[in-house]
Homo-oligomer: A and B are copies of this chain.
Amino acid sequence: MIDIATRVWNHKWKIDPIVRSMIDTDFYKLLMCQSVFRNKPDARVTFSLINRTKDVRLAELIDEGELREHLDHIRSLSLSRGESTWLRGNTFYGKRQMFRPDFMEWFEALRLPDYHLEKRDGQYELTFEGSWPEVMLWEIPALTVLMELRGRAVLNRMEKFELQVLYARAMTKLWEKVERLRKVPALRIADFGTRRRHSFLWQDWCVQALIEGLGDTFIGTSNCLIAMRQEVEAIGTNAHELPMVYAALAETDEALAKAPYRVLEDWQEEHEGNLRIILPDTFGTKGFLKRAPHWLESWTGMRIDSGDPATGAETAIEWWKSRGEDPRKKLVIFSDGLDVEKILELHRQFEGRVRVSFGWGTLLTNDFRGLVPNDALRPFSLVCKAVSANGNPTVKLSDNPNKSMGPADEVARYKRVFGVGEQEALEVIV
């Protein structure tokens, strides 16, 4: 028996929308959005798409009209009543009413602002300008739309059974990772793969596979919609976006030097426990920690998102020790370019020395490497970043110069202000 109504309903769609919900986004975007809504609601910020993998020529793969349809569809979305109820009523990180009523009212009324799209040199220039709390919510849907349209461009050429076998292989590949990870006790792994996922349905499948396959080892997903539907924890804290924009808004070098700490002061007013996670690498980890105020010592943990992760964690441990803290009570979150091998290696290295958890991203939700001819579905490095605030360019130094951003003169100024010297360059896969 075929469900005729479903078939007819499907006929009615002009497109098959990639993003269908305002909360099909990373949890930390909402946490940060609330913080920005409270502290910097009037900052004018520009977000811009940046494809670091130049040989994936997105404008040749993806039809502009189709891309516009998806972006327009996202602009038509608004928070549904059930989503609002979940955000208002659910417990996040042990806390009820994480989202304040004034923020929720604003969010319920929000429609995403307009976008600007142009083709240049085989790539799309896609930018979003507006008030910070509004434009920042474009980051994740813009990335997921481009990632999935690129995937669809490849999949369009495949036959029915080729497709089924492609997914069979991808499932097998993921499950082999699960089988390796499930053997290791005391691992803690979260899905951080929303932004560069293969597709929504695939991310949803991956999360369900981790729920069944990993049991308690799986601690949750960064994706709010999936967290809500699969009834798992929504995971995430804060990102480089906050210190980058705070820094760009600073009017003097002195204010610039203080900006990364100002961000965390604002954060501390709202959050405690496992949400007090330091992201130290925006302008170089070493200088950040050296000049960190005493109140940061009591924070729960640190997220290592660039540079060699083991070195980053050793730096964190050393810093806690130097400030009289017991690292075994602290939490290190690894979130940069992880796959099973690296997870297991870091786990072995740091087990017992510090609490560890892993934010597993692209190679969880988009590992189709080697599964189609010419590796046409290999993950690539697409980001959507705040590039200016109130007219000033933003800068990111990172612990890996291949992840740095900003105009050369500003980068030089930031390096001087934050005392950053030579850095080791590491390949950025995803």
Contacts and interface: CB of A to CB of B under 8 A. Distances in A.
Contact of A212 (B2, B162, B167, B168): B162
Nearest to A213: B161
A345 interface: no
B212 A159 contact: yes
A208 B161 contact: yes
A164 interface: yes
Contacts of A172: 165, 168-169, 172
Contacts of A1: 3, 5-6, 9
A212 B161 contact: yes
A2 B3 CA distance: 8
A160 interface: yes
A175 interface: yes
A209 interface: yes
Nearest to A174: B165
A35 to B, nearest CB: 37
Contacts of A164: 171
A317 to B, nearest CB: 36
Contacts of A160: 212
A159 B213 CA distance: 9
Contacts of A213: 161-162
Contacts of A165: 171-172, 175, 209
A212 to B, nearest CB: 4
Interface in A204-225: 208-209, 212-213
Interface string A148-187: 0000000000011110110111011001000000000000
Contacts of A208: 161
A212 B163 CA distance: 11
Contacts of A212: 159-162
A164 B206 CA distance: 12
A159 B172 CA distance: 15
Contacts of A159: 212
Contacts of A3: 1-3, 6
A10 to B, nearest CB: 10
A230 to B, nearest CB: 12
A213 to B, nearest CB: 6
A50 B167 CA distance: 39
A145 B257 CA distance: 75
A211 to B, nearest CB: 8
A8 to B, nearest CB: 10
A32 to B, nearest CB: 33
A210 to B, nearest CB: 9
Nearest to A6: B1
Interface in A1-47: 1-3, 5-6, 9
Contacts of A168: 167-169, 171-172, 175
Given A161-B212, A172-B172, 19 more contacts: A1-B5, A1-B6, A1-B9, A3-B3, A3-B6, A159-B212, A160-B212, A161-B209, A161-B213, A162-B212, A162-B213, A164-B171, A165-B171, A165-B172, A165-B175, A165-B209, A168-B168, A168-B171, A169-B172
Complex A-B, nearest 7 residue pairs according to Cβ-Cβ distance, in ascending order:
A168-B168, A168-B171, A3-B3, A165-B175, A161-B212, A1-B6, A168-B172
Interface of A: 1-3, 5-6, 9, 159-162, 164-165, 167-169, 171-172, 175, 208-209, 212-213
9 contacts: A2-B3, A161-B175, A161-B212, A161-B213, A162-B212, A165-B209, A167-B168, A168-B169, A168-B172
